[in-house]
Amino acid sequence: MDGEVMTTPAGVSERVTEVQARTISIPLRKPLAFATRYVERREYTIVRLRTSGGLEGVGYSYVGNRAGHLVTQFVDFFRDHVLGADPYALETTWARMYRDAVLLGRRGAAVRAMSAIDVALWDIIGKAGGLPLHRLLGGPKGDRVPCYASGGYYWEDTDPDRFVFDEMRSYVEDGFTAVKMKVGRLPLNDEMRRARAAREAIGPNTILMMDANNAWPDAASAAEAMRALTEVNPFWIEEPLMPDDMAGHVALQRKVTVPIATGEIEQTRWGFGALIEHRAVDILQPDATVLGGLTEFRKVAAMAAAASLPLYPHWMHHLHTSIVAAIPNAMMVEYFPTLDVLNLGDVLQDPIRASGGTLPLPQTPGISVTFDEKALDRFAVDAWH
């Protein structure tokens, strides 16, 4: 019933009494590049919610390499829908936020802000019940979660072939059975040398994923590059085209045999629903901090399961480990072995670490992500507001 107050297991009525957000900007240790972008820093919106019963929930979203404050401003935009809300009424709060932003942001910054808020609400629910996220979602499926080592970026002042060889070899030596590298920035002949170096480094039995980050302008260009790259037997080639080019993805499916993966930028059940309906991809890569939060992630996962499509969540292993541990068609976590690429760990207490190509299940109640307040202050663009 609309307006009904749900209670915690302890019987205490909860309402959200405080909504805070801030923007964090963390410089990379050294600038990096991929097919379509040069990156010197990463920015995040952090959300903190407090309830009438004294619970605190945190959520976050990666917002790119500049203008992170735009996502944080959308948290302010949604504040009236969250203050006074029952934290358990996830669907109601989500729908109210989405409807209010329908003119300003059915995608993009608005939905990233919604994602951070939704994750914070799930954090509250887990803490209220004393359960880690994987238990809330219906897991776990096992004791540990498989992950792949994600890297293979373009670095200045390095030999691209030698560097990718050494990097990929190091991942295999650390026990990873699957690795990922970037493609699409260099001329095709140069990309082929890098790809061959990576395959030589990891051997014939290690899974090799490739990520083009929307590198190619059309299906014909993508098909030419992808056909050449099949020489090294990629497990998938990710984001070959711009995310809104549905016709291009459908055409590309008819032109190549290598599996196509995408979804890291896609948002909401409707965005993923179109990819599924048109059979535009073979593998979906949703990100709970991007697509609309955990509430929307579950819908996307169910839709994908009905279409027999696997999920390989993008980015944010700190959160996605718990999701992969629980959702049947979520297969593997993307993991960054160092802070050189994904640097959220610079503001976290005790980030989880992989061993032997697997990650341990987070066991603390809620989303099992704790921010270091002093580190947040050091990298903050603004104060909590």
pLDDT tens string 57-94: 999 999 999 988 999 999 999 999 999 999 999 999 99
Q: CA angle 220-226-232, nearest 5°?
A: 165
Catalytic positions, written as ranges: 182, 314
H or E segment at 198? Answer: helix 188-202
- What's the pLDDT at 39? 95
Q: What is the mean pLDDT of residues 145-155?
A: 97
- What's the pLDDT at 384? 96
- What's the pLDDT at 160? 86
Model confidence at 7: pLDDT above 80:
no
Q: Among 338, 334, 337, which Cα is nearest to 321's?
A: 334
Residue pair 349/371 in contact by the 8 Å Cβ criterion = yes
Model confidence at 284: pLDDT above 60:
yes
- What's the pLDDT at 6? 44
Distance (Å, rounded) from C-alpha 41 to C-alpha 27?
Answer: 4
Tell me how far apart the 2 most distant CA atoms of the chain are, in Å: 65
Model confidence at 9: pLDDT above 80:
no
Residue pair 211/153 in contact by the 8 Å Cβ criterion = no
Q: Among 220, 218, 162, 209, which Cα is nearest to 183's?
A: 209
pLDDT tens string 174-228: 999 999 999 999 999 999 999 999 999 999 999 999 999 999 999 999 999 999 9
Model confidence at 172: pLDDT above 70:
yes
Residue 139 has φ and ψ, to the nearest 5°, of: -105, -165
- What's the pLDDT at 8? 46
Q: Is 152 helix (H, G, I), strand (E, B) or coil?
A: coil
Model confidence at 4: pLDDT above 90:
no
Q: What is the 3-state secondary structure (H, E, C) of 203-268?
A: CCCCEEEEECCCCCCCHHHHHHHHHHHHHHCCCEEECCCCCCCHHHHHHHHHHCCCCEEECCCCCH
Q: Is 28 helix (H, G, I), strand (E, B) or coil?
A: strand
**Percent of the chain having pLDDT more than 70?**
97
The pLDDT-based confidence of 352 (bands split at 50, 70, 90) is very high
Domains of the chain plus CATH, in order, are: 16-130+373-379 (3.30.390.10), 135-360 (3.20.20.120)
Enumerate residues 6+ apart whose C-beta is below 8 A from 306.
Answer: none
Q: What is the mean pLDDT of residues 19-23?
A: 98
- What's the pLDDT at 13? 73
Q: Among 148, 273, 276, 162, which Cα is nearest to 211's?
A: 148
Model confidence at 96: pLDDT above 60:
yes
Model confidence at 2: pLDDT above 80:
no
- What's the pLDDT at 157? 83
